[in-house]
Amino acid sequence: MECKVSYLNLIEKELQLSHSQDSEYLVIDLFAGCGGLALGFEAAGFKTIGYEILEDACGTYRYNLHSPCHQVNLTPLSIVDTRSATFSRGIDAIIGGPPCQPFSVGGHQLGLKDSRDGFPTFISTVKRYRPQLALFENVRGMLFRNKVYFEEIVEALQELDYIVEWQILNAADYGVPQKRERLFCVAHKGGWKWPEKTHSHSPYTAGEALEELAFSVPQNSKFLTPSMDEYVKKYEIASKCVKPRDVHLDTPCRTVTCRNLSGATGDMLRISLPDGRRRRLTVREGARLQSFPDWFEFKGSENSQFNQIGNAVPPLLAKALARSVNAYLNSECQQPQNVRQSTQYTQLSLDFAIDFLENPVRKNRKLQQRGVATDAE
């Protein structure tokens, strides 16, 4: 029986960056955050250029990766700057995590009505640069309450002559010590293959990820007070929790989010120490559970670092996807295939600023379909 590699050795090996600046493929990373997706892609040999609005996240990206990250508020009219890269044929892939708050339960699932929606920007960037492949990540909620809006996004990509496929992937199946299910959607020209699961039968546990940290008491540790413990007990009874929501060391951790790293007491990720005390996770512990190597440093305040970690795509999962992207780009021919997805599409109502500027008639027609008065009326 093959010996299981230690988790820390795994992420150190798999997410090691090459010292060479040479890369065959250029990837644009929109809404890049701190670089979780980019770390996986760069570890697989890609050159990435990031775009992100938050200063701390940009600082983290630049500090740890071999690539620039432009601090910018992306809009559908944003122009991607590739002058820092020497790629004559242009952009090979566009990846990103358009803000998920419009579709997450924590963000109240406002979808199209949410001003934080980044999909018009993502789609219009794909339209302008026509990469061989586009990939985005979002929360599972897109397929439920906001399913109609997701179908509109799919149809918009299909109108650009892409084949569109999507799956919900669990990070634990790819070596991440965390039960994290997220939606991944890929627009391609034919021949795409999803990465094979590597750890579905032997997932890493939180204990394997945290090791000695789970029994330590770092400086400035934040412990739950007796009143907080009582609140948590009532919260878990009301929530009908089968067992306390502590980090259980013998199983993959529950989903790491911004909220449970630094937010409300009831949902907080916490470690139960041998002496009975419970403390909040540290930045490094949260990063390990997301598969960031220990050399990866986060910039900004503690809360900012927690937010960067909670919003990131786990780099190990990102690398599995990057390998599939590399295999796709290296394939000799990308031919359309009959790809079946169980969905029924509806009339588009997703407004892309570029389309509206080019075709005001379409804009008025689409607004009328929504019952919105236009100047022509």
Beta strand 163-170 pairing with 181-188: antiparallel
- What residues contact 14, with CB distance under 8 A and at least 6 apart? 43, 175, 316, 319
C-alpha distances out from residue 185 to 47, 71, 134, 182, 340, Å:
21, 25, 8, 10, 14
H or E stretch covering 270: strand 270-272
Can 185 be counted among the known catalytic residues? no
Distance, in Å, from the CA atom of 222 to the CA atom of 220, rounded to the nearest integer, reads: 6
DSSP state of 195: P
Secondary structure (3-state) at 278 = strand
How does DSSP classify residue 205? P
Q: Strands 47-52 and 26-30: what pairing? A: parallel
One of 100, 185, 253, 258 is an active-site residue; which one?
Answer: 100
CA–CA dist 141, 143 (Å, integer): 5
What is the set of active-site residues? 100
